[in-house]
Amino acid sequence: MKHIKTIKTRNLCESAKKGGCGECQTSCQSACKTSCGIANQQCESAKNSK
């Protein structure tokens, strides 16, 4: 019986090895201007490699 379905996500521990290029958008720039949420941003290098 299947109890668990794991959704495909970016592994944050793995991203510690290669991340940090800094090319991503500044959090609230170009958007809400009144709160900080980084979850809704895209990784610039992931976007370019798609």
Partner 1 sequence: MIHQYKLGGYNIVLDVSSGAVHVVDDIAYDMIALFETTERADVIAAMAEKYGHLPEVSAEDLEECYDQLLELKESGQLFVPDTFEAMAPYLKEKTSGVVKALCLHIAHTCNLNCSYCFASQGKYHGERAVMSYEVGKQALDFLIANSGTRRNLEVDFFGGEPLMNFDVVKQLVAYARSVEKEHGKNFRFTLTTNGILVDDDVIDFANREMSNVVLSLDGRKEIHDRYRVDYAGNGSWERIVPKFQKLVEARGGKNYYMRGTFTHANPDFLKDIQVMLDLGFNELSMEPVVCAPGDPSELTEADLPIVLDQYEKLAELMLERERAGKPFTFYHYMIDLTGGPCIYKRISGCGSGTEYMAVTPWGDLYPCHQFVGEEKYKLGNIWDGVTNKDAQNEFACCNVYSREECRDCWARLYCSGGCAANAYHATGSVKGVYKYGCELFRKRMECAIMVQVAKMADEDDDTDL
Residues that bind partner 1 (CB under 8 A): 1-13, 15-16, 18-20, 22-44, 46-47, 50
Question: CA-CA distance, 48 to 12, in Å (whole number)?
Answer: 19
Q: How far is the CB of 48 from partner 1 (least distance, A)?
A: 10
Q: How far is the CB of 6 from partner 1 (least distance, A)?
A: 5
Q: How far is the CB of 44 from partner 1 (least distance, A)?
A: 7
Backbone angles phi, psi at 48, to 5 degrees: -70, -25
Question: CA-CA distance, 44 to 25, in Å (whole number)?
Answer: 8
